Amino acid sequence: MTHQVTLTQFIIEQQRGLPDASGTFTLLLNNIVTACKQISHRVNCGALIGVLGSAESENIQGEVQKKLDIITNDIMVKALDWSGSLGGMASEEINDPIKIPKQYPKGKYLVLFDPLDGSSNIDINLTVGTIFSILRCREGVEPETEDFLRKGTEQVCAGFVLYGPSTMLVLTTGNGVNAFTLDQDVGEFILTHCNMKIPEESSEFAINMSNQRFWEPPVKRYIDECVAGVDGPRGKDFNMRWVASLVAEVYRILTRGGVFLYPHDLRDPSKPGKLRLMYEANPMAFIIEQAGGLCSTGRERILDLKPSSIHQRVPLILGSKSEVERIVGYHQQD
């Protein structure tokens, strides 16, 4: 039988070569994983334990919350606040940064998370997930909002967990991208996909076509060329995909290539984008770039953006390097 590498073994082996490794990061990641296993269980049980449907409340973005949005947020907070690894947390579901209770020591990391990405799909049994990002923190102090407002290049780790036909963790610490599959029998994440690389060539794109009347000309030009297929300027046929779950879209791109677009549109000029920089765009950009792809707003590299607020929204275009470069080029020509 082939030796199976668990997530804990994988992280410890990576940390051994670092002179200042103390085990704190490994503990933090294990606590995140523990929370995600609990979330996986709740998602898998669904209607059996009464967690589906609307909670009839709104989050800070004014979006209607599902019951599982609230449940999964509580799971993440309770799994992380006691460990001594964190100086603070921030959640897509909560207005302000989350403080560590006074009875617990403060650590040298900050965690930002979307506890249940794609939750609009939960009631129709499609793939959802958890996204997280880890930053360093001034140790032993009470972090302020400004401590969280860091460029994506300052992330020390990013990952997401897919709750689908299998539960998978996709992770980067800045040394490539690896994926782990949860063995439900033993309760461990096992390394199953080593050094993932986005295929350079692909014929798939993902975008919400119902918004096309609001698109800027560069996006419209790109999609029109894809739709024109073999008879158009690209000279080949493309397939469109749209799951409305960022974790599912990104995992498909990691395995099959292609491009995902949730671009800036002209519907409301006061809103620069739909997706959150800190909880979605930054961690996904870190992962995509580590796998050989690119991630942009169309005009700027996502990881170079200096956040203005913890709930800032941005346009998001990510995927195979050649396709993102083409879209960015169209924006530069506009």
Residues annotated in a binding site for substrate = 117-120, 208, 274
Asked whether 85 and 106 are in contact (CB, 8 A), the reply is no
C-alpha–C-alpha distance, residues 250 and 262, integer Å: 12
Positions at the binding site: 92, 114, 116-120, 208, 274, 280
C-alpha–C-alpha distance, residues 230 and 235, integer Å: 4
Positions at the binding site for Mg(2+): 92, 114, 116-117, 280
Size of the chain in residues: 334
Selection from 67, 66, 110, 105 nearest residue 91 by Cα: 110
C-alpha–C-alpha distance, residues 177 and 197, integer Å: 8
What Cα–Cα distance (Å) separates residue 275 from each residue in 42, 107, 244, 278, 313?
Answer: 25, 29, 12, 9, 5
